[in-house]
Amino acid sequence: MYELSANVEWLFTEAGPDTADRIAAAAAHGLGAVEIWTWRDKDIDAVAAALTGTGTVLQTMCVEPMGSLTDPAGHTEFLGGLRDSLAVAAELGSPFLVITAGDLRPGVSRAEQHAAVAEALTRAAEVLADSAVTLLLENLNSRVDHVGTYLDSTRETIEIAAAVGSPRVAVLYDLYHSLVMGEDPAAVLDGAAGLVAHVQVADVAGRSEPRAGSLDWPRLLHDLRAAGYEGRLGLEYMPSVATAESLALIEKVAAGA
């Protein structure tokens, strides 16, 4: 059975604009974990109190600012944001910080940009060495949501994490981005179980909730299980109906996975 974590930037918005209230709503629904993107725009004390009061885990939050990993000139900003975000993650008990690589650099070879991303993450591993927080590198789709992004391949993301070779650097596999890019999850995850530390899901159609008949969700979750993934499923989608109603299918499939 897969446990679920709800991204409260998009889910449980019925509870109002405050993140703390959305955490409470997720907990009331029976979810034990939530996710956020930015933290600098939030009342961290209120978020901490909501997490503690409900016994909820903050599964992921983003490094802020991210800087650009593809450009060595952006690494100082990234590492500064990492240090600031690490302190907040530790305060909130979040095991994962999320980073993306940044945009393509015109006129610069992919090999050079690949090397720059790996170098940034190698330096990040040193910052995280004595912490309990793992940095997750996420690849995005370049076809719909993030045109111009550099890292749109799951295999390349896995290769970079493997090259860094640190337990403090791993991969966030977003099933939505992967499917939009036409990837076969079973193929791209083959042999990568030890490097994928978190998975997020959404339907390809409109990035909404997983729907019956849209994709073969039992097979997709079976592929994750076959690849060795045992962690939570992050629900990062835009619900087309009330949040509680939108959760019905994925809760059923996750329970049987």
* pLDDT averaged over every residue in the chain: 97
Q: Which pLDDT band holds residue 12 (cuts at 50, 70, 90)?
A: very high
pTM attached to this predicted model: 0.98
Kindly state the average pLDDT of the residues 95-100. 98
Whether residue 193 is predicted with pLDDT greater than 80 in this model: the reply is no
- CA 87 to each of CA 37, 61, 91, 104, 136: distance values in angstroms, whole numbers, following the listed order: 16, 12, 6, 30, 16
User: CA 93, 67, 149, 173: dihedral to nearest 10 degrees?
Assistant: -20
Q: Which pLDDT band holds residue 242 (cuts at 50, 70, 90)?
A: very high
Q: What's residue 257's pLDDT?
A: 82
Q: What's residue 24's pLDDT?
A: 98
Q: What's residue 223's pLDDT?
A: 94
Q: Which pLDDT band holds residue 13 (cuts at 50, 70, 90)?
A: very high
Question: Do β-strands 4-7 and 57-62 pair in parallel, antiparallel, or remain unpaired?
Answer: unpaired
State in words which class domain 4-256 has.
alpha beta
Q: Half-sphere exposure of 227 toward its Cβ, with a 13 Å CA cutoff?
A: 25
Kindly state the average pLDDT of the residues 82-101. 98
The DSSP code for 65 is S
Domain range list for the chain: 4-256
Q: What's residue 256's pLDDT?
A: 87
Whether residue 127 is predicted with pLDDT greater than 80 in this model: the reply is yes
